[in-house]
Chains A and B, each alone.
Chain A
Amino acid sequence: MKVTNYLITALLGLTLLITGCSKSQNTNSPKTLYTNIGGEPTILNPILSTDVPSSEITGLVFNGLFRVDINMSIVPDLVSTYSVSEDGRIYTFKLHQNIKWHDGKPFTAEDVQFTFDKILDLKTNTVRRSNLIVAGKPVQFKVVDAYTLTATLAEPDAPFLSNISIGILPKHILQNQDINIATFNRQPIGTGPFKFQKWETGQYITLTKNLNYYKEGPKLDRIVAKIIPDTNTALVALEKQEIDSGKIPYKDLEKYQNNTKINVFEFEDLMYTYMAFNLKNPKFKDIKVRQAIAHAIDKKSMTDKILKGHGRPAHIPAAPVSWSYPNNPTFPIFEYNPTQSAKLLDEAGWKLNPTTKIREKNGQKLSFTLITNQGNQDRERSAQIIQQYLAAVGIQMNIQLMEWSSFVKRINEPRDPKNFDAVMLGWALGIDPDSTSIWHSSEYPKGFNFIAYNNPKVDALLDQGRKTIDQFQRKAVYNKLYTQIASDVPYVFLYYPNVITGINKRVKGLSPAGPTGLFNPIENITIEP
């Protein structure tokens, strides 16, 4: 019986342990905002980071020369006023004079020049160098005096202001360091509304209010950005009010819509999902085959199934929330029409083999493989739905799921022709509508035009769009661009997924829901006890 006693003691001890330390002290200070950044940030340096968690933090700690307001317009931030020369090539920026770094040192034009020089420095591991290269030449930054600075461009460049709205770094700290491995990247010092306080790996980052902010400071005293990678856990944490904001999956929306503690916001974002054809593949060289595929897919019903109605079908490579989206659409819409699809395939010479139910031409089957990345369930399911639609018109589509890194290598590898038939992906677009990197023929085989799309008209429109500064005129250029691209069917544009966010009701001062988030600017956010 000794053993049983021992057993009981062990179990008793365990229960004591469990109940003994339950119910911790509630130490929530009233003005602390708890967020979830969803993953460990890689590097807290705005010119080096490429991931969302990092940019969520650097966006609070650093200021750029410009920032994006809720209307997605570029408005001055560190800059007080600026002017552009007649030919649109020389910018003169006047900086605010009362700005201090978080360590108390004054912020000057030297810091701005230092930051852009670092981006242009080949030794810096940044993916933003090409943003500062216009018509093949680096932008020349020159300090005029402590608070004035000029930038000289080889030719007018519309995305320029958006490209230089990146966070500015302190020269006095980084000037004699290797920026790629500096400890600064883990203890950043900026000019922003919040000061970096602490980063506990894998747990959280805390930021405190910047008492010497150059304009009206934040109402919050601090922000605790938690790192909760699992989406289910994050959802429970939101429900339990351990965090104040979190993404809500479509399937869980109903559950939270009438929650007494959480407000739910839904908005359209700057992104679209698409299926792209490798245009070097002989089967896809024929535009009729591409048009037939576009007609074979019922985008509306697919959007309803995949996004549960939280999104809409896409027809062009621009999001409806962007200012560049045409008001009076002239672009073609490929309606769901299997008969038309079959007719186009017949015309292209692909005849249905009645026994296999697959179309053939010169003894070759109309069959291809779609690759997409593993782990994105919406994409996986979209691929399966498309597979059925295409089977109905006699096209055999195989699906291959790949691990992200191998997938990216397959499509990005700078070889010609590339080793894939078709891919399914999504593009997250920038605030500026320039999409040279996706559609320009010079971006193949190196670049994101991995489908080898090549249309001189599109190249010219892209160049024109970059050189046109006036937004109204630019919009007309992009209207033509989108119509041209949509008519060529290099992609089948599928849908625009909406974003659904839940915010604790105690959080006040939110901006209207949109692609720039609900905390824009963060200074207005406050907590009601």
Chain B
Amino acid sequence: MLLLITIISFLIMRLAPGDPTQMYLDPKMGAQDIIQIRKNFGLDDPLPIQYIKWLKNAAQGNLGYSYSTGKPVLTAILERLPATLILSISSLICILLIACPIGLYIGSHRNQWPDHIITIVSLIAMAMPAFWVGLMLILFFSLKLDLFPTSGYLNPMLSDAPILTKITDIAYHLVLPLTTTVIGGIAGLIRYNRFNVIAILSQDYIQAARARGIGEGTILLKHAFKNASLPIITILGLSLPDLIGGSLVIEYIFSWPGMGQLGIAAVFQRDYPILMGTVLFTSILILIGNRLADLAYRWVDPRIR
């Protein structure tokens, strides 16, 4: 499976016009030198040979070196992973913590005024592009109110500070990018959750439970919520690769040192080793994500075996 993924992505990558040495348009550089660099990278070899060379090294745990930075690919990926994970996991938690209860609430109080308001607000939130929300947050909370830094991850002055100070500082820098991500991600999930709750509440077993005199709150949390969470698990399983993929827009606006910038830069620079490294990483995570989702199904719903 992984082998197939790498072959296909290798081919797609090489179908894109241009190559890593054809980046330079600068009269101060020599055209002959560019041809020599191409040779040094082994880009003149036939494609299958290049792929086999890559595969051989990858099988031995050597993902190669970035063409543009000369850095080992694994290092390049791993050093950007923490920032990405901090942002993506915390935003996932926030989104779940906010979206599930709201979805449950408006699903059970369908067509009442909170439902309408939340529906309108979440549609607006969905329609706002992340780069705009991010900039507005910077302008308002950072420039106007001076509550948060405009961008960054850790104050350079605190690089040798005790771990607790560092965590506080990162959390402080995290607020604006996190808010931007949550605003963008929450709306869809609320809508999804609301719909599920409505569908489940109209089922017979809920009516039966009501008939048995079980309280409305218990019905909602015990009976409806568990079933409504099934589709959410599917979504979560599928979004696991996004967790490490990072969000380019958010990272770019807030100078957040995550994976998104690495991947996009690699695409534009045709940095093949980095691209193959990220593809390999992501595909492994997709496989794991699907597996985890399957396991979670079984745990939530004993009918699935």
Q: Chain A residues in contact with chain B, CB under 8 A?
A: 1-4, 6-7, 10, 14, 17-18, 21-24, 27-29, 40, 42-43, 48, 50, 122-123, 125-131, 133, 180-182, 185-186, 198, 200-204, 206, 224, 226-230, 232-233, 236-237, 239-240, 242, 403-406, 408-414, 425, 427-430, 435, 437-438, 443, 446-448
Is residue B23 contacting chain A, with contact meaning CB distance below 8 A?
yes
Interface size, B (range) = 35 or more
Query: In the complex the two chains form, is A128's CB within 8 Å of B30's CB?
Result: yes
CB-CB under 8 A from B22, the residues of chain A are 405, 408-409, 412-413
B255 → chain A, closest Cβ, in Å?
A: 5
Query: In the complex the two chains form, is B23's CB within 8 Å of A408's CB?
Result: yes
A166 → chain B, closest Cβ, in Å?
A: 11
CB-CB under 8 A from A438, the residues of chain B are 27
Is residue B155 contacting chain A, with contact meaning CB distance below 8 A?
yes
- What are 20 A-B pairs with beta-carbon distances under 8 A? A7-B101, A7-B105, A18-B147, A21-B171, A125-B40, A129-B32, A201-B79, A202-B261, A206-B159, A229-B252, A232-B138, A233-B254, A237-B150, A405-B19, A408-B24, A408-B25, A409-B17, A427-B27, A435-B27, A437-B31
A405, B253: Cα distance in complex, Å: 23
Q: Considering only CB atoms, which chain B residue lies closest to A443 in the complex? A: B31
Query: In the complex the two chains form, is A200's CB within 8 Å of B257's CB?
Result: yes
Query: In the complex the two chains form, is A129's CB within 8 Å of B152's CB?
Result: no
Q: Considering only CB atoms, which chain A residue lies closest to B32 in the complex? A: A130
A319, B116: Cα distance in complex, Å: 62
Query: In the complex the two chains form, is A21's CB within 8 Å of B18's CB?
Result: no
Give the interface centre of B22, B27, B252 by most chain A CB atoms within 10 Å: B27
CB-CB under 8 A from B270, the residues of chain A are 405
A4, B143: Cα distance in complex, Å: 34
A3-B105, A24-B149, A201-B79 in contact; A226/B32 too (CB < 8 A)? no
Give the interface centre of B28, B30, B68 by most chain A CB atoms within 10 Å: B28
B287 → chain A, closest Cβ, in Å?
A: 27
B149 → chain A, closest Cβ, in Å?
A: 6
Is residue B221 contacting chain A, with contact meaning CB distance below 8 A?
yes
A185, B37: Cα distance in complex, Å: 17
CB-CB under 8 A from A18, the residues of chain B are 147, 175
Query: In the complex the two chains form, is A128's CB within 8 Å of B29's CB?
Result: yes
Give the interface centre of A40, A201, A226, A406 by most chain B CB atoms within 10 Å: A201
CB-CB under 8 A from A43, the residues of chain B are 68-70
Pick the contact of B142 from A23, A27, A240 — CB < 8 Å? Answer: A240
B103 → chain A, closest Cβ, in Å?
A: 10
Query: In the complex the two chains form, is A22's CB within 8 Å of B16's CB?
Result: no
A204, B154: Cα distance in complex, Å: 9
Query: In the complex the two chains form, is B154's CB within 8 Å of A22's CB?
Result: no
Pick the contact of A229 from B154, B169, B255 — CB < 8 Å? Answer: B255
A28, B105: Cα distance in complex, Å: 47
Query: In the complex the two chains form, is B138's CB within 8 Å of A24's CB?
Result: no
Query: In the complex the two chains form, is B156's CB within 8 Å of A448's CB?
Result: no
Q: Considering only CB atoms, which chain B residue lies closest to A19 in the complex? A: B147
Pick the contact of B37 from A22, A127, A242, A409 — CB < 8 Å? Answer: A127
Query: In the complex the two chains form, is A446's CB within 8 Å of B142's CB?
Result: no
A361, B155: Cα distance in complex, Å: 66
Query: In the complex the two chains form, is A428's CB within 8 Å of B31's CB?
Result: no
Query: In the complex the two chains form, is A437's CB within 8 Å of B27's CB?
Result: yes
Query: In the complex the two chains form, is B40's CB within 8 Å of A429's CB?
Result: no
Q: Considering only CB atoms, which chain B residue lies closest to A444 in the complex? A: B31
Query: In the complex the two chains form, is A202's CB within 8 Å of B257's CB?
Result: yes
Is residue B83 contacting chain A, with contact meaning CB distance below 8 A?
yes
B26 → chain A, closest Cβ, in Å?
A: 7
Query: In the complex the two chains form, is B220's CB within 8 Å of A3's CB?
Result: yes
Is residue B258 contacting chain A, with contact meaning CB distance below 8 A?
yes
Q: Mark out the residues of chain B between 13 and 55 whose CB falls within 8 Å of any chain A CB in the assembled complex.
A: 16-19, 22-37, 40-41
A7-B105, A202-B83, A405-B18 in contact; A226/B255 too (CB < 8 A)? yes
A270 → chain B, closest Cβ, in Å?
A: 11
Query: In the complex the two chains form, is B155's CB within 8 Å of A181's CB?
Result: no
A127-B24, A236-B139 in contact; A27/B155 too (CB < 8 A)? yes
A151, B93: Cα distance in complex, Å: 64
Query: In the complex the two chains form, is B150's CB within 8 Å of A233's CB?
Result: yes
Query: In the complex the two chains form, is B97's CB within 8 Å of A28's CB?
Result: no
Q: Considering only CB atoms, which chain A residue lies closest to B148 in the complex? A: A22
Q: Mark out the residues of chain B between 151 and 169 whose CB falls within 8 Å of any chain A CB in the assembled complex.
A: 151-159, 168-169
Query: In the complex the two chains form, is B70's CB within 8 Å of A224's CB?
Result: no
A202-B83, A406-B16 in contact; A185/B70 too (CB < 8 A)? yes
Pick the contact of A42 from B28, B68, B169 — CB < 8 Å? Answer: B68
CB-CB under 8 A from B101, the residues of chain A are 3, 6-7, 10
CB-CB under 8 A from B156, the residues of chain A are 200, 203-204, 206, 224, 226
A237-B150, A404-B268 in contact; A127/B257 too (CB < 8 A)? no
B14 → chain A, closest Cβ, in Å?
A: 13
Query: In the complex the two chains form, is A403's CB within 8 Å of B268's CB?
Result: yes
> Shortest 9 CB-CB distances between A and B: which pairs?
A202-B257, A130-B30, A405-B18, A127-B29, A447-B31, A409-B18, A406-B17, A27-B157, A181-B70
Query: In the complex the two chains form, is B70's CB within 8 Å of A182's CB?
Result: yes
CB-CB under 8 A from B105, the residues of chain A are 3-4, 7
CB-CB under 8 A from A4, the residues of chain B are 105
A186, B29: Cα distance in complex, Å: 23
A402 → chain B, closest Cβ, in Å?
A: 9
Q: Considering only CB atoms, which chain B residue lies closest to A41 in the complex? A: B69
A54, B36: Cα distance in complex, Å: 22
A21-B172, A40-B261, A185-B70 in contact; A3/B217 too (CB < 8 A)? yes
Query: In the complex the two chains form, is A229's CB within 8 Å of B69's CB?
Result: no
A255, B18: Cα distance in complex, Å: 40
A435, B27: Cα distance in complex, Å: 7
CB-CB under 8 A from B150, the residues of chain A are 233, 236-237, 240, 242
Is residue B98 contacting chain A, with contact meaning CB distance below 8 A?
yes
Is residue B11 contacting chain A, with contact meaning CB distance below 8 A?
no
Give the interface centre of A1, A2, A28, A435 by most chain B CB atoms within 10 Å: A2
B37 → chain A, closest Cβ, in Å?
A: 5
A29, B155: Cα distance in complex, Å: 13
Q: Mark out the residues of chain B between 162 and 202 whose CB falls within 8 Å of any chain A CB in the assembled complex.
A: 168-169, 171-172, 175
